[in-house]
Amino acid sequence: MLNYYIFAENKNMRKILLILGITFFVGVQTTCAQVSPADSSIGAFIPNFAFSYQFPGGDMAQEFGSNATIGGGFLLKSKTNWLLSADFNYIFGGTVKNEAEILKMVLNKDGYIIDGNGTYALYSVYERGYSINLRVGKILNLLSANPNSGVMLMGGAGFLSHFVKIDNQHRTAPQVSGDYAKGYDHLRGGFTFNEFVGYFFMGNSRVLNFYAGFEFYQAFTRSQRDYTFDLMRKDTKKYTDLFYGIKIGWMIPVYKRSPRAYYYY
């Protein structure tokens, strides 16, 4: 009886895998139908890589200066120019405005950290973080070079996290190294909304495909640490962290080209 049950389950599993395989094959064939982006609207799977330069707003402006992000993700474009995307972005910046306040527990009267060797510790502080987003949007055929290009509108939601990174050279200052650094890093995270308005260009070449425009984030974050050293307690405040800036992306659309036309005389 047990053998029959296992056989039946395996048979059902093979059916499911067969159906999924056929569905995937049909989907790929549909996406890769032989078309030309220069003269017809196409569906495509589009890996992309992006860079942005952002300015802070809200509570972020009290702590950090401008930052940059690098990231990548995937776009699904329909024949009707609807877009669905998922992406990951790494945040990095070099300006921490409240550095002295954050490290006041370990700074001496001259504003230095004394390391384990009794000398001034060599350290730097940076802004670091990341965001993960899901977005939906539309390409409007305004100022369009072809049926697959035009004004790009996107909106979505995701998760954003950021913190203060303390880079102590050779980790000679145990006060700000290892687990102790977590007490100073002001790690925050939370739900975020994002919007993008710009231009989407898909050319007849697989190399010249890009989007560029303005991006906006509204993140609702709170501390991810149980204790913050400079506050001498748990940070229970709710923050509104805003970002706005310019974003540029390079795309590699995946679809099957139409065959070249040949003329005989």
Helix (H, G, I), strand (E, B) or coil at 245: strand
Q: Are 96 and 164 in contact (CB under 8 A)?
A: yes
Question: pLDDT band for position 3 (50/70/90)?
Answer: very low
Sign of CA dihedral 102, 104, 109, 112: negative
Instruction: Give pLDDT tens digits for 125-158.
Output: 999 999 999 999 999 998 888 999 999 999 999 9
CB 31 within 8 Å of CB 255: yes
- Amino acid 256: pLDDT: 72
Which of 37-41, 207-211, 215-219 shows the lowest per-residue confidence on average (mean pLDDT)? Answer: 37-41
Sign of CA dihedral 81, 87, 93, 96: positive
How many secondary structure helices (H) and strands (E) does the chain include? 2, 8
The confidence score (pLDDT) of residue 40 equals 84
Q: What is the pTM of this model?
A: 0.81
